Amino acid sequence: MLRARFVDAEGEHLDDILLSVHARPPGPRSPSPSGQDHDWEIRLHLHGGAGVMQRCRESLAAAGFREARENGANAGAGLFGERTRLEREASALLPRILTLQGASWLLRQPLTLAQMVRKRLDDLAKHGAAALAAGRAECAAAAARLNLVNWFTRPLRVAVIGPPNAGKSTLINALCARPVSLVSPQPGTTRDWVEALDEIEGFPVAWIDTAGWRHADDEIEAEAIRRARRVLAEADRAVLVLDSSPDGAAASAAFSRVGGRLTPDVVVMNKCDLLAEASASGKSRSSMGGGLAPPAAVAPVLDQLPTAWRKVSICAAATTGLGVDALRRRLLEASGRRAADLAHPAAFTPRQADRLAAAASATTAQPARAALLECLGET
């Protein structure tokens, strides 16, 4: 499984993709899903919308590639020479996975889950009903981990909000390491929300840049602010960006008085690089780099903010990237996404979760054994 950039014949970047190259198993060859008899299959997992996908198809066709079309019961089958139902289910789910870490996790699960289930079956065969209690918690936990699939098939939607000219768009660009939002010293540049796909430590994220919140007489800007509020209501997490520089401190304090009921997961005290104390003090600069605590110069601004905001504040300078890593870590913590959770066996389809839950709730050995075999697809 490789991560790649899809470019057309002219070199134009069309999409960021996952690419898998698979050699069919040795031995007598069977027809591929496309009906052609060949040994190699290349799978492209595109992230773009319908328009991007169509352009990629046209580019591939022009280069001489033929699309292997699957249908119905054959969809996802034969992708990697699968031999078990769990492997086939993983292959069918793979195109929906958005990051390389997610693909790696999913492709480990058929083996990881099967090993756990077979150990439970062995214990039942050796100890009968006495093994039920020991396996109940493990089966229930594996069933509950079905939600891990959502971590990789649905981006964590993060609304970036705040007053005008606080540096929201600049922060989005720093987070994505590419220019996805227009930036300007002129307040009110962002007139509608802009969504940018990214990832944090392998977990997919969608950053949503929104219009600055303020009283606006201009109807277009007022509508943009209303849309920003709707985006916030629908987002999974929220990042509030405030200007901590001498020129923006008053506006940040004023915003806290009208937006004090907001409950952001992280408050970014942006433009810390413009503070004289931070520039003069090596210690302050160090704390800014980690983004763990604002330097002393930000204290007067922080003191005017709600207590809940102060507790989740970090110092940052979007133009230099200071504090960006701390923001990413804070958001992962707030969302509950932990890489350590990926080491445990997990159901990755509702069918598997249902059978594991049935095994966990069984009161005798026979129904528990039947449910575990059904989970493996061996009945």
Does the pLDDT at position 162 exceed 70? yes
DSSP-derived pairing of the beta strands 2-7 and 40-45:
unpaired
| 21: confidence class by pLDDT, cuts 50, 70, 90 | confident
Q: Is residue 31 scored above 90 in pLDDT?
A: no
Mean of all residue pLDDT scores within the chain: 81
Asked whether residue 187 carries a pLDDT value surpassing 60, the answer given is no
Say if residues 379 and 369 touch (Cβ distance below 8 Å).
Answer: no
pLDDT of residue 295: 60
Domain ranges of the chain: 1-69, 78-150+349-379, 155-335
Most confident of the ranges 37-41, 53-57, 75-79, 303-307: 53-57
Give the model's pLDDT for residue 284. Answer: 43
Beta strands in 193-236 (DSSP E): 194-200, 203-209
Q: Which long-range contacts (CB under 8 A, 24 or more apart) does 75-80 make?
A: 77/33, 78/32, 78/33, 79/22, 79/41, 79/43, 80/20, 80/22, 80/107
At 293, is the pLDDT very low, low, confident or very high (cuts 50, 70, 90)?
very low
Average pLDDT over residues 346-371: 96
| Pairwise CA distance, residues 13 & 99, whole Å | 18
Which segment of 177-191, 220-234, 315-329 scores lowest on mean pLDDT? 177-191
Integer-rounded Cα Rg, in Å, for the chain is 26
Please, which pLDDT band fits residue 195 given cuts at 50, 70 and 90?
A: confident
Stretch 288-296: mean pLDDT, rounded? 48
Binned at pLDDT 50, 70 and 90, residue 202 comes out as: very high
Q: Strand 237-243 and strand 40-45: pairing?
A: unpaired
pLDDT band at 218 (very low <50, low <70, confident <90, very high): low
SS3 letters for 274-312? HCHHHHHCHHHHHHHHHCCCCCHHHHHHHCCCCHHHHHC
Per-residue confidence (pLDDT) for residue 289, from 0 to 100: 40
Half-sphere CA count of 282, side-chain side, radius 13 A: 0
Environment class of 171 (CB within 10 Å of its CB; exposed 0-12, middle 13-18, buried 19+): buried
Distance CA 373, CA 379 (A): 6
Q: How far is CA 244 from the centre of its chain?
A: 29
Topology annotation, domain 155-335: Rossmann fold (3.40.50)
Instruction: Label residue 20 by pLDDT band (50, 70, 90).
Output: confident
- Per-residue confidence (pLDDT) for residue 291, from 0 to 100: 44
